[in-house]
Amino acid sequence: MDTGDVFDPNCPTRVVLDRIGDKWSVLVLLSLIDGPMRFTQLRARIGGVTPKVLTQTLRAMEQDGLITREVFAEVPPRVEYTLTDLGRSLHEPISVVATWAERNVAEILRYREKSA
């Protein structure tokens, strides 16, 4: 299968949408665009994410081929996360969505207040 169909409920494309639509995955991707980072750096940069959730997100992104995890033989061991070419290919579309969210958050919050 070379392409998918997002409207087909049996298509694995929906799994991909789950990954790239997850806020933690988006924040990891945006954090790593400037280069490799360690776990503690990522956690500090993202803010508000628990170690467990960040670990789960990083593992899933690695499994999906979006990031690599490199362990350096040092004491204590050093681990860095880096975007793959596939992960970097998401930068432009994800950045557009992030910019849109930043520009429109006030208006969306106003609508939420009206409907509450």
Q: Where are the domains of the chain?
A: 12-115
Decide if pLDDT at 1 tops 70. no
- The CA-based angle 22-55-92, given to 5 degrees, is 40
Q: Domain 12-115, CATH 3.20.20.80 — does that match?
A: no
pLDDT at 4 (0 to 100): 86
Sorted by sequence, the CB contacts under 8 Å of residue 46 that are 6+ apart come out as 24, 27, 28, 31, 54
From the list 36, 35, 54, the residue with the least C-alpha distance to 44 is 54
Q: Give the mean model confidence (pLDDT) for residues 76-102.
A: 95
Per residue in 89-101, pLDDT (tens digit) is: 999 999 999 999 9
Q: Which residue has the higher pLDDT, 60 or 115?
A: 60
Whole-angstrom CA distances from 7 to 10, 16, 17, 20, 97 are 9, 13, 11, 16, 21
Residue 97 DSSP label: H
- 20 band by pLDDT with thresholds 50, 70 and 90: confident
Decide if pLDDT at 50 tops 60. yes
